[in-house]
Structure 1
């Protein structure tokens, strides 16, 4: 049986080679893939160099600060860069839209900035062609153009009836033709994986992430090969096979993904950043104003501090009351802004959930979910980066507020300068790339759809392969 399948596959390769056009299309696909890989690598390298340069400069500027007042240092701020996995060369995901640098400062929870998508000119707004896009969009399209006639032509010329008349099982013919289509494309996927692993094997979870990526791509292409053979076997005319497959490609790769994304955004809209900050400011005003001595919240807070230290006046405190006030204000501000961030993340989670409920319509989008998760550039990875950045910001600002409380004399608060050694020893924990486990729900949903994508065309091919 194996030798029969291999003989059918070899005959199919020989036919495609002598037809010239399929071989030329395959050469064009490989050329496009090489160009996409080089362009994506250059884009990633430029991005990584920029992030490294900005990070080094920020580190130098922070360490080079002179003796200062700690509150001034808290407004001087700090930068943190988003870790970028080498697999971003294959799939940049939302990296260009979400940004990669966050400015950390007191009383603020900033979003990521410096995203190339918003900085590009109108001529540069075309999407970057990446290896992931080649697999997701262009490889199925080239496969359709190469192999839409793989069985239909045999039916028209009578070759299929001859083979069936000689006792060749229909399932063997279908399997051999599927093998002839799948193996060259699978070889390209493996070649891409090996080249990627050579220069990224030292990165975080490189082998695991790359294995998930390649396996998902193999399932996706296997499903397309099954669909092409099934439709070609079912169709009686060449143009019918071509039009049917092109319609499937347009719906699966373009209409359904775009439609689901737009529907999710309309159903669960997110607040603009300016509106979210406005609501945060309103809530902060309702909680209390530290600059108003008659504010109920901070009046009660002041009374508790005086009782804690058994004094009757702020001037008699053994610590700087302004520093304590800064700590309380930062705590309240952080709680409000984090609450707004949670609401924003909840809306994004609803959008993702809405899309995942209809993900079975489009294996193309399921593959994109897995590719972005494998490359560390999907929404859960970005949100984990924002949470790490915010935790670093809060620790840093509260550390400076404690210095303000215990190292600055209250009677000469504004004129005091604290040693720069405190800034050099400030807690600035490194922000690391999250584990791929943060995207396990997206990966599980994507693989479930891809499994169905293989089984459904496989079942259709099994049924139609019994027909002549």
Structure 2
């Protein structure tokens, strides 16, 4: 029998066998329904969250602009809120977003952490995970592929059908390719609702079209890895039961055990300090570098001397600007540099933890896929760190702008409680958060994962050639 006739015949025969299996059909229908529910629920949730954060941001912006006449330093301590918007693709994979804060309170002399995460405000049920299209495709769909494909070749060997096909002239490679084509088609069908949703997002939101299409390709490649592995295991073991046990064990290790254990191993190896320990370290450093409220502090005594020399006067009272404002600006510069140092050090430790987790991608394609999925969805640690850095940059800019008003607008010899016109608050620039460009995200997280998944497929294909020859020599 020619390859052009045999290969479609094998694929069609496999499809017919699956259609005759009522359990397989019911499981496939349930998986499709589950994916559709995950898409609808996740999309509605992200839309509601974004609408809520937009409303909150508009409210606090209006409250900021409607402040009465005040002294600038009072406005520094009045503070301001900023909220992190979600990417249109956040519905696909929530990533770390439910566990990281989404709101920053910005004020002078202090760097606050992000607050109001879903995990902190929800019941303990959140610990069991949330239903997203990514979770269904990453964990549940491979399990269904295993149950559909474990007997694709092994069951025919047990029934004697495999020997009959080989005797009739069907080559081992043709047989395997037909089985692979059949199950690859089923895998793509199972992922079709999620893939259609990604295409729809790419059409409706062109700004994230590249990310959406990259996600589609990555998940399709991931499912293909599982299909190839399942068919090859079925062809390599003598009994379908053995193939099922081997595949389920592989699924447990790669999809459940390693993704759960590796973060704990990484946390133990890196050892990030707690928030309290970080606060104590910051206060110790602040006490060492100088206190702008202490007139006898060595650093600020030297700062006063430099300031007087700069303006060519001998007394603070003779300065043409408000010296208190200059003190506040200098103190903010020093403390913000320290805050930035500690923040970046913490981000470096988090990156080290992520690198340890990602090192297990060689053994678990799910870990590799999750790295790409959360990055392209804008819900990974890098996206959260970018929000914190952008928020800190904005905080420093608006605090120093207020300190500038303190320096140049408040009367130098005033009593200390002088108010300035409220139009100055209305002129404050609004916070804007821009996600990382696709080229940057793809270079760091997408292309390496594509290469790794391809690295899984290449040896599997090489093994497939060996298995195909083995089938021809020993079909029984």
- Report TM bin, short chain: over 0.9
Partner of 2:29: 27
User: Counterpart of 2:112 in 1: which secondary structure?
Assistant: coil
1:83–1:433 CA contact under 8 A, matched in 2: no
Could you say which residue in structure 1 is the equivalent of 2:468? 465
Separation in 1, partners of 2:440, 2:78: 32
Q: Which residue of 1 aligns with 2:327?
A: 325
Map of 1:136 onto structure 2: 138
1:450 matches 2:450: no
Aligned to 2:436: 434
Unmatched runs of 5 consecutive residues or more in structure 2: none
Matches within 5 A, 1:293-332: 293-332=295-334
| Aligned length in residues | 468
Secondary structure of the 1:104 match is: strand
Instruction: Kindly state the Cα deviation for residue 419 of structure 1 after the two structures are TM-superposed.
Output: 0.7
Give the distance between the partners of 1:335 and 1:416, measured in 2 at CA.
29
After superposition, where does 1:101-120 map in structure 2 within 5 Å?
Answer: 101-120=103-122
Match in the other structure for 1:195 = 197
State the alpha-carbon separation in 2 of the partners of residues 60 and 223 from structure 1. 52
Q: CA deviation at 1:199?
A: 4.5
- Once the 2 structures are TM-superposed, how far is the Cα of residue 117 of structure 1 from its aligned partner? 0.9
Instruction: State the secondary structure of the residue aligned to 1:358.
Output: helix
Cα distance in 1 for partners of 2:444, 2:89 equals 20
1:278 alignment counterpart? 280
Q: CA deviation at 1:386?
A: 1.5
1:40 counterpart (42, 67, 73): 42
**Paired residue secondary structure (1:277):** helix
Partner of 1:167: 169
Partner of 2:239: 237
Matches within 5 A, 1:316-465: 316-439=318-441, 440-465=443-468
Distance 1:402 1:85, change over 3 A: same
Instruction: State the shift of 1:410 in Å.
Output: 3.2
1:139-154 alignment, distance < 5 Å: 139-154=141-156
Tell me how far 1:188 sits from its aligned partner: 4.2
Q: Partner of 1:212 in structure 2?
A: 214
The Cα shift of 1:82 comes to 1.4
Report Cα offsets for 1:219-277 as digits up to 9, x if no partner: 11101000110111111122111100000000110111222211111100212122112
Q: C-alpha separation between the residues in 1 aligned to 2:354 and 2:260?
A: 13
C-alpha separation in 1, matches of 2:201 and 2:374 = 19
C-alpha displacement of 1:202? 4.4
1:437, distance to aligned residue in structure 2 (A): 3.6
Query: Is the partner of 1:201 in helix, strand or coil?
Result: helix
Please say if 1:66 is aligned against 2:65. Answer: no
User: Comparing 42-51 with 374-383, which one deviates more in the overlay?
Assistant: 42-51
Contact 2:89 2:201 in 1 (8 A): no
Shift of 1:462: 2.1
1:178 maps to: 180
Deviation for aligned residue 1:166? 1.0
Q: C-alpha displacement at 1:413, in angstroms? A: 4.2
- Report what 1:155 is aligned to: 157
Give unmatched runs, 5+ long, in structure 1.
none
> Take 1:446 and 1:117, find their aligned partners in 2: how far apart are those partners?
29
Moved more, 46-55 or 172-181: 46-55
Give deviations 1:294-342, integer Å, cap 9, x for gaps. 1110000001111111111111111100000000000000011111011
Question: TM-score w.r.t. structure 2 length?
Answer: 0.95
Describe the superposition over 1:161-192 as per-residue Cα deviations: whole angstroms up to 9, x where unpaired. 11111111111111111111111322443442
The answer to whether the 8 Å contact 1:78/1:103 transfers is yes
Q: Which whole-Å CA distance do the structure 2 matches of 1:332 and 1:264 have between them?
A: 33
Residues 396, 428 of structure 1: 8 Å contact kept: no
- Scaled by the length of structure 1, the TM-score of the pair is 0.96
Query: 8 Å contact 1:98–1:112 — kept in the other structure?
Result: yes
Identify if the C-alpha distance between structure 1 residues 202 and 329 changes in structure 2 by more than 3 Å, giving closer, same or farther: farther
> What SS is found at the alignment partner of 2:81?
strand
Per mean C-alpha deviation after superposition, the further-off stretch among 46-55 and 151-160 is 46-55
Report the Cα offset of residue 200 of structure 1: 5.2
Q: Is the 8 A contact 1:380 1:438 kept in 2?
A: no
Q: Is the 8 A contact 2:46 2:90 kept in 1?
A: yes
Are 1:80 and 1:431, in contact at CA under 8 Å, matched by a contact in 2?
no
Query: Shift of residue 3 of structure 1?
Result: 4.3
> Secondary structure of the residue that 2:288 maps to in structure 1?
helix
Q: 1:122 aligns with which of 104, 121, 124?
A: 124
User: How much has 1:61 moved relative to structure 2?
Assistant: 0.8
Structure 1 residues 395, 30: closer, same or farther in 2, change over 3 A? Answer: same
Kindly indicate whether the alpha-carbon contact (under 8 Å) linking 1:144 and 1:246 is maintained by their aligned counterparts in 2: yes
